[in-house]
Structure 1
Amino acid sequence: MTLRLTATLLEQCFNSRDDSDLEIFLKDASVPCHQHLLQARCPALDTTALNLPENPSVVDELLRWVYTGKMALPLEAVGGDRIAQLAEMWGLRDLHAMRQRLLRSWRREPARGCVEEDLLRAYDQERLGKTWFLCEKVQEEDPHVYAGFLPLLIKASSFFGAMFSSRWADSSVNGSDVAVIKVGWDVSTMRRLIRFLHGGPSFIRDIQDLDQAIHCADFFGMPVLLAHCNTWIVEHLDRDTAPRLWSYVESQPRLRMNWLEDSIFQEDMLITADSECFDFHLQEFLMMVDGIRDGESWVPLYDLTPSLMYRLVASGSLDVSTALLKSVVANFVQQKVPPAEQKAMLQRMMPPEVLFNRELRDQVLGGCRLGVRGLM
C-alpha cells in the first residue's frame, strides 16, 4: 500500500478553506477556494468571472474532486450530470476519470484522478504563488527554492503554519510582490522536501535518508514525513534488509510513538512499520535461516537486536521446528550477546520461558486460537 500523502494534504486543504484567496459567487451564497490550485486543475477557468447561477452543493462537490480526486457518493441529491457539465466548462484536466467515478462502474476500477500530477506540474512551472525560500548557499548552486502552494505547506507542517501566519518574509525582489523567506537549511534538502510534498519523488532515496527524514519531521513539525518513513520501510522489506530495517525502527521512538493520534491521517490509511516488520519476520523466518543451516557464520537475521528476536520467540508464532529454532537462537545469542550475559539471555529465549514456536504453543494452549498480538 502506498500512502498518497499529497492527496491527503490536499483533502485537508479542502476540508478547511479558511485561508482561501478566491470566492465563487453563486445565486444565494459563495464558496471559498484556492485560486492557484483551481487554475492548476482547471486551466480553462477564468477566475475573474466566477459568478454562477448554480447550487452551492454542485460547486462544492466539484471542488472536492478538484482538491482530492474523490467524490462523496451517492450524488443523487446533488446531480452528477450538472457536476460533470460544470467540470467540462472549467476545463478539468481529469474529466474522464471524474465521469467514470460518477458512473460508478462496477466492471472495472474507476480511473484515478491526476491531482498530484497537476499540482507537481504547476509547482515545476512556478504557478502556485510568489513565495521563495532562501537557503544556505552551497558553492555556485542557486540558494532559492520555490515554496509552491502555501496552504499545502501549512497543512503539512506546524513550522510552516507558524511561518506563514506571522509574516516572516523579510525582503522582496526588485520591489515586486515576490516574498523571500530565509531558512537555515541546505538548498538540496529543502528542494527535495518541498517538491516531495507537491507530489514529487520520494524524499527518502535510500536507507541513509531515513535519519534525515526523521530530523526534518521533528524540525518542521511534519508527521507526513514520519508516515513516509513507515511506508518506505515497509515497501523495502526483503529477506536481506528486513532485520536491519526492523532494528532501525526499534531504535527510533518517533517511528513507534502514538504521533498518529494527532495527525491528519485516518487509522485505516496508516502503515505501521513495526507491526509490518514483525509479520514479515514471522512469514519469512524459515527462509532467512537457510544460511545458518548451510554453516554460514553470519546471516542477515543476525542484524536483529536481542529484544526483537525475543519478541519473535515469545509470540509462539514461528512455524519452525523446535530443534532448528533452538539451534538458531543459540547461534544468535552467541553472535549478539556479550559472553557474560549469554547464559541468562539464552535461558530467557528458550522454552519454557517463552512459547517459542507454533509446535510448542499448540501443546501449551491446546485447541485455543489466539491472535499473535494477544499473546504479546
Structure 2
Amino acid sequence: MAIGLYVHVPFCVKKCLYCGFVSFRLDREAAGLYLNALLREIELYGAALCGSEKEVSSLFIGGGTPTCLPGDGLIKILQALKVHFRLLPECEVTVEANPGTVTLGGLSVLREAGVNRLSLGVQSFQDRLLKVLGRAHGSGEAEKAVRLARQAGFANLNLDFIFGIPGQTAAEWLETLEKAVELAPEHIAVYGLQLEEGTPLERAVAGGGLEPCPEELELFMYRTAVEYLKKHGYIHYEISNFARPGRECLHNLGYWLNRPYLGLGPAAHSCFRGERFANEPSLERYCRLLSQGVFPVQERHALSLAEEMAETMFLGLRLIRGVDLEGFRSRFGRRAEEVYRNEIARLTGAGLVKLDGRFLALTGKGLPVANIVFSEFV
C-alpha cells in the first residue's frame, strides 16, 4: 500500500501567539543545518525502505511556515524526495504557506516543481483578530496571496480559518465566511481555537487580559460555518473540513482512514509498519543524530490489534460519512458492531451516532461533542 508522507519545516517568520506546535523563529544558520539533516533523513529512509513502502500517494509539507525557508530550500527537499521515494502520478503534493511569505515567482517555482495544492493559513479577514492571534500578515495580504496562487497556476487551493477567537463576534465570523466563499477556494478548513497551555494567548486569557469566547457562541459559529458553506456548494466531509466535489484533501483522508504514513523533520509523527513513532522535537538533537547517520526517533510504540481497531473507529468517525463497517471487517476479520457492541449501543441510545447502511456516523447532535464519542473507543 502506498503511504502518505509528511515533512515538517519548523520555522516561521514570527511565532503566532496561539501556536503549540514545534516551531522556531527563522534563523538562516539553523535553517541550513535543518535542511542538511532533513536531506540526510530522506536519504536514510530511501535506503531502508523497499518496494511499495517508497510509493507515495500524498505528500504534505507543513510547519511552521515552509515558504519562509531561505533560497531554494523547498525545491531541494522536493528533489530529494523524488530521488529517494516514488511519488505516484496522481500524488497530491501540498505545501502550507503564510500569506505574507509568498510571491508570484516563488509560487510559480513550486508549481513547476510539482506542487499541485497550496494551503494558506488565512485564519481571519479581520485585522484586529489577526493581531489577537499574533499573525504576521494582514487581511489584504491574504486576498493577494489567493490571487498570486491562481496566477501561478494553482487549481487546488485550501484556506484555513479559526473561530472562537477572544473578542470575535458572530457577524465577523460570517463576514470571514462570505469573503472566503467569494475567493472560491476548492477547500476550506475551519477550526475552533484551542488555547494550548503555555502559549502567550492562553496565558493572556488565563490572566484575565482577554475574555475567552463563550462556548455557546463558539458552537453557533461552527453551525453557521456548516450551514453557510454547504449552502454555497461545499461538501462537509469531515468535522472541520469542506470541499468542492472531488477536492477533498487526500493526505488528511489517509490519516482519518488510518492508513500508513511517514513523518520527516523535527517532532514529525509516523504510523508505519505497525508502530507509532515520533522524531526528536529538539532541532539540535535532530540534527546531531542525523549527522551520525542515526534515525532521529525519540519514541516508538508497537500497536496492538485492539489499539489499531480503536484508532480506526475514532479516526473514521471524524468523517461525516462515518466508519466504513465493511472496510473494518475486511481489514480486521471482525465486525465492529460485535467488537464495540456496548459502546455503539450507548452512543446510539444517546443519539450521538447512527448506523446508516454500511457506515457508523456521528449525528448532528454528536458532531459538536465528537470528543466525547471518540473517548468511548480509547
Query: What TM-score do the two structures reach when normalised by structure 2?
Result: 0.25
Larger proportion of strand: 2
Q: More helix by proportion, 1 or 2? A: 1
Higher Rg: 1
